[in-house]
Amino acid sequence: MKITYGKKLRVFIPFAIGYFLSYLYRTVNAVIAPDLTSELSLNPAQLGLLTAAYFITFAAFQLPLGVLLDRFGPRRIESILLIFAAIGALLFSRAENLPGLIVGRALVGLGVSACLMAAFKAFVLWFPSQQWPRINGLQMASGGLGALTATAPVEFALGITNWRGIFLVLAITTLAVAAVIYCVVPERKEAQKTSGLKEQLQGVLEVFLSSEFWRVAPLTTLSQASFLSIQSLWAGPWLRDVAGMERMAVAKVLLLIATAMVAGFILLGTAAERLSRRRISPLLTAAIGMMLFMGVQLLIVLEIKDWAIPLWICFGFVGTTGIISYAGLCQEFPQHLTGRVTTGLNLLVFILAFFAQWAIGAIINLFPVSADGRYATAGYKTGFGMMFALQVLSFLWFLGASIMRRRKLVEF
């Protein structure tokens, strides 16, 4: 059946807005962190735990999400889950203590956990396969626009209202988006071939027992976890405390990072697709990109302040290369397992992002705070350095496993 252009827009635009909100929620704490810490007397470890609560509930729902999307469709599942995100945002706006903030943030993470995977599922149902790479890239870019909005525009909004007002507006907006997705996105009437819970779990087990999955997963997981945990929270405080920037200057640099991220999703994804046509594996492209990302992180750890702005722009651009691994790893598995490959990898990424964001805050908290409330630069160096070292180890694992794989193929 031929799908009209108008119907494709009815599918793409609502899901793109949903993912825009997901990324806005994910990164907004990088700007409002000073307000949270001052009003509620949060230390770095508590701030890290609070912000990371988004990641743990997001991760916990990835595996059941695949079953629900297959059984009930992306339109229904995302619209229902966004109601939980709206409730979480409302609770966050009303919270008077750390537990209340954590519950609200955790509900937001649960509520937006389907925003990317539901979109990908919908695109499979409504778009021809040759359009998937381009439409997926546009979907990722819409998330980047959400991260962009969570920077200077949020800082500007803080001049009109406070962080509580911002989250109240987000709660209302999220409810509206849930209604739009439910009412505007068309329902695919054709019967879809779905697998039951037992078959889904068997597929998950097959993925997690695969040596190919574990060849790629450690490097991708650590690279993405480092990118998410730092970009969504600790980049802002670093610019304030290490680079010595004022709040508006910090927001402007975060805006540049988000802009670079949008460009990275589009340009690097396109480059990987073109290189694959020349028989250069997306996994090789991703590995080279993640190696460059490690180089940028090393320079940030070394605190080369004169290069702070270009380094953080590069951080936003090459930090997106881990996403290329998703497509590359899917090529190594049968098509019926690709959904579980991506959700399995997503599960690991967001669990590790939770622990990384919390751990960086706990490490920063080990060092003394200055009289004006700035965190010690040694804390950032130690926390970021820990993530860099783990990525180096995972890169060595990837190289070793790739060499062993090549030898086995030659012997075969």
- The CATH number that applies at residue 286 is 1.20.1250.20
**pTM of structure:** 0.85
DSSP 206-224: HHHT-HHHHHHHHHHHHHH
Evaluate if residue 280 carries a pLDDT over 60: yes
Predicted local distance difference test score (pLDDT) of residue 194:
53
Evaluate if residue 192 carries a pLDDT over 60: no
Higher pLDDT, 115 or 64: 115
Q: What pLDDT band is residue 117 in, cutting at 50, 70 and 90?
A: confident
Predicted local distance difference test score (pLDDT) of residue 388:
98
Predicted local distance difference test score (pLDDT) of residue 274:
83
Evaluate if residue 368 carries a pLDDT over 80: yes
Q: What pLDDT band is residue 125 in, cutting at 50, 70 and 90?
A: confident
How far is residue 222's CA from residue 228's CA, in Å, rounded to a whole number? 10
| SS3 at position 100 | helix
Q: Give the residue-averaged pLDDT of 174-180.
A: 98
Residue 188 within any structural domain of the chain: no
Q: Among residues 405, 357, 350, which one has the least CA distance to residue 383?
A: 357
SS3 string, 31-76, reads: HHHHHHHHHHCCCHHHHHHHHHHHHHHHHHCHHHHHHHHHHHCHHH
Q: Give the residue-averaged pLDDT of 158-165.
A: 95
Evaluate if residue 254 carries a pLDDT over 80: yes
Predicted local distance difference test score (pLDDT) of residue 191:
43
Q: How many domains does the chain have?
A: 1
Q: Give the residue-averaged pLDDT of 214-229.
A: 95
Write out the residue range of the structural domain in which residue 214 sits: 5-183+195-411
Residue 17 within any structural domain of the chain: yes
Evaluate if residue 111 carries a pLDDT over 90: yes
The percentage of residues in the chain with a pLDDT greater than 70, rounded to a whole number, is 93
Predicted local distance difference test score (pLDDT) of residue 129:
63
Q: Give the residue-averaged pLDDT of 210-236.
A: 94
First to last CA, the chain: 44
Place of tokens 């930090």: 319
Q: What pLDDT band is residue 196 in, cutting at 50, 70 and 90?
A: low
Predicted local distance difference test score (pLDDT) of residue 47:
94
The percentage of residues in the chain with a pLDDT greater than 90, rounded to a whole number, is 63
Residue 190 within any structural domain of the chain: no
